[in-house]
Copies of this chain bind each other. A is one copy, B any other.
Amino acid sequence: MNAKEKLLYEAKAKVLKALAHPTRLWMAEQLSAGEMCVCEFVDQIDADFSTISKHLSVLKQAGIVEDDKRGKQVYYKMKVPCVMNFMSCVEAVIESNAKAQAALVK
């Protein structure tokens, strides 16, 4: 793995890392269905609004979402919608794990 390749894998990992948090993943899924303002997240997530803002900032930094200030509110939306396509596969992993668990009990 040369230096350039290393940078590429670091970049890829950064995108995944941005999604690799329960709250951010949930946010991303919500945004796949359409834009939302920070205040809506604040209403629906049990965490400090500063925490929520920072999570959105991580998604933005990774280039997954973009923001748009309108009046007092800031709206976030997906920038690269395909990001959520692979969730079906992540769910497949979880199902596979669940089956393995179940097999242990049998």
Known: A26-B9, A63-B100. Contact between A93 and B21, CB under 8 A?
A: no
This chain's copy number in the assembly: 2
Interface size class of A (residues with CB under 8 A): 35 or more
Other-chain contact of A82, B19, B25, B45, B89 (Cβ < 8 Å):
B89
Known: A44-B1, A63-B100, A96-B63. Contact between A12 and B87, CB under 8 A?
A: yes
Is the contact region of chain A dominated by helix, strand, or loop, or is it mixed? Answer: helix
What's the minimum C-beta distance from A25 to chain B, rounded to whole angstroms? 5
Within 8 A of B (CB), among A84-106: 85-87, 89-94, 96-97, 100
State the A residues within 8 Å of B (CB).
1, 6, 8-17, 19-26, 44-46, 62-64, 79-80, 82-83, 85-87, 89-94, 96-97, 100
